[in-house]
Structures are given as C-alpha cells and as structure tokens.
Chains A and B, each alone.
Chain A
Amino acid sequence: MAFVNLKNKLIQVKIVYYGPGRGGKTTNLEYINRKFQHRINSEMVTVKTHGDRTLFFDFLPFDVGLVNGYQIKIQLYTVPGQVKYDATRRLVLRGVDGIVFVADGMVVRRDTNIQSLRNLQENLASYKKNLRTLPWVLQYNKMDLREQGIPMMPIEMLEQDLNLEFRRPYFPASALEGTNVVATLKKIITLTIASIREELF
C-alpha cells in the first residue's frame, strides 16, 4: 500500500523479501546495505534471536531518486523464514507493494521452498492480495554452492516447482557473493513502480 505525499512529492513503497528460513533474505539486504551505503541514510534495522536468526524483520530504507517528479523511497523488509513465525510474517506483509521470493537452491530444501510459497499465498489472501496481481520476482539463491559439490536443483526444476503457473522474472543468485542481488532488486523496483505509476498517472 504505497503512500503518496503530494505535499512533499514523495512516494513510499514497501517491498518484502519472503522465503524459507536460512534461504538468504537477510543476506540480500546486508549486501544491498553495503553496496549502496551512499543512498542509505540510516542503519539497517534487524530484530534477531540470540542464534542470529531473524525474529521479527530486517528493514532497510532505500532512495531510488525521481520518477515523474516524485521522490521514491523504497522500504525493504525481510520476514522471519522459520515456520513457527507465521503471525510475524503476516504482520510484515501488511501493505506490501512488491515481493522478492528467495528460494533456497539446495536439493534438500525443495519441499521447504514449495511450502513457503504456499504460505505466502495464504498470508496474502488474508489481505485480499494474490500472486497473480501483485508485482513479484523469484530469486534462486545459493548457486555458488554448486562449485563446492553440494547437490543443487537445476533452474528448470525450481521453475517447475515455483514459477510454472506465474511465469515471473527469476534470477539464479548468490546473495553471499552478491551475484544477481542487485539485478533482483532492480527488477522488483521497476515492476513495483510501474504498477504504482499505472494506478496513479
């Protein structure tokens, strides 16, 4: 639910990184925070457990400059991926404008990816939103592990499992090394702003 401030010519947009636990959502934000430090005026907010897992969310505000004369402020959030934190995930999704679904590319995580996407659909439904109309992209993360001999899912299989009915843009990535992190971000920002622009202008 983007908010348009006509007085200050400012649009605030909420983008949420969603996906299974330990899939790399926080690592995406950490990379963006390092890479674009000059555009980020504040500290990244993280609410973590003692075990360094996301407990509530991570938050990173990000300025993308002017679009149609409006300053765009992107608010990036992650959700906690662990199954037990479903109420928190639903809370963070409130007012979401765009989503990055971060799937874990490891073979052993196949089912958790599918469950997490299903969970996303259920939680969006509670806000009367769905993946057919909302701007979203997929990121197939941890692709760097292939070189270490860890069994990884082929992209075709990930596509089959998660993106067959949606046909959304997807990015094989390594959040740890930064591969395609920025490409994913750029894509979701472009799609989300286009959707808001269509509605407003």
Chain B
Amino acid sequence: MSYTLDQKQLDKIEDVLKSELIDNGVRCVFLIDMAGNIITNLDNGEKQHDIYSLAALAAGNFGAVSAMAKIIGENEFSLLFHKGKKENIHFNKISSEFLLITIFGNEISLGFLRMKVAESVEHLKGLLEPLSREHL
C-alpha cells in the first residue's frame, strides 16, 4: 500500500513550512510519516543533516514515547522537546500518521517556536486531510 502527494500539494506544504518556520529562524524542518518516510524537508542552508536516519529515529522515538504514554494512562504525548547546547529538536504530532520535526538554535525561544509550530500544524492538518486514514 502506498500514498502519493503531487507537486501542488507539496508546494503548499513547503510554503507553510518556509513562511512560518524557516523565515522565523528555524534551521531545519521536516515533515515525516510514522513509518519514517520523509514527506518534505527544508533548511536555512547553514547545515546539512542526515535526514533519512533522523527521520527513521524520530518516527521510532515518537512511537516509543507514545507507548510510554499509554503505560502511564495518557492517550499520547503530542509533543516532545530535546535540548542541546547549541541545537534543539522539537517534535509535534500533526495527526495519527504525520509528525513535524524542527531543529532550532538558542536564538529562538521555545515559547515562540511552539507558537509557530502550532500555527503550522493547523495549516498542515488541512493540507494533509485528503490523505485520510482510509488511504494510509
């Protein structure tokens, strides 16, 4: 079973990610599905990451944390945040199938990032809705 996104859909998604996140100082953003596939990724051109490995680990990590949530009686943890010295990583669930991951430095506050991610997620939900569960 597979699913498809065309140029128009991907352009719209990338517009949202660029205007809401990259233009506001996020270094790298990628949208992945829970299988670990990369739907799209954008960066500010400063640093290249091994995004395929990152996506595989991110999907696995998110799945593992969701399983932890269930054990303690939560339905899910919808966002995760890992803090480093220079780089930070933030995961936000979009729907049961998609995850938005942002990498950002210390020049952006976590609060501002969360606000921008939340706005992006609302836009992306609408764009990804055609790929409803029956297609996935």
Spell out A's residues near B (CB within 8 Å). 1-7, 11-12, 14, 42-43, 45, 47, 56-57, 59, 61, 73, 75, 77, 87-88, 91-92, 94-97, 196, 199-200
Contact = CB atoms under 8 A, between A and B. Distances in A.
Nearest to A59: B56
Nearest to A96: B35
Contacts of A47: 57, 60
Interface string B1-24: 111111100110000000000000
Contacts of B37: 1-3, 12, 14, 75, 95
Contacts, number: 95
Contact of A45 (B1, B39, B53): B53
A59 B39 contact: no
Contacts of B5: 3-7
Given A42-B52, A61-B52, A91-B63, A1 B35 contact: yes
A199 B60 contact: no
Interface centre among B5, B7, B10, B56 (most CB of A within 10 A): B56
B4 A6 contact: yes
Nearest to A76: B56
A92 B56 CA distance: 9
Contacts of A6: 4-7, 10
Contacts of B59: 94
Contacts of B6: 6-7
A200 B53 contact: no
Interface residues of B, number: 28
A2 B50 CA distance: 20
A6 B53 CA distance: 22
B64 A4 contact: no
Contacts of B136: 1
Contact of A200 (B2, B10, B34): B2
B52 to A, nearest CB: 4
B56 A75 contact: yes
Given A14-B35, A75-B36, A95-B35, A1 B60 contact: no
B4 A59 contact: no
22 contacts: A1-B1, A1-B3, A1-B33, A1-B35, A1-B136, A3-B33, A5-B5, A6-B4, A6-B10, A7-B10, A12-B38, A42-B53, A47-B57, A59-B53, A59-B57, A91-B63, A94-B34, A94-B35, A94-B63, A95-B34, A95-B35, A200-B4
Contact of B67 (A42, A75, A91): A91
A41 to B, nearest CB: 8
Given A1-B37, A94-B63, A77 B2 contact: no
A92 B7 contact: no
Contact of B10 (A5, A57, A77): A5
A41 B33 CA distance: 21
Nearest to B38: A12
Contacts of A87: 67
B60 A43 contact: no
Contacts of B57: 45, 47, 59
A56 B13 CA distance: 31
Contacts of B11: 7
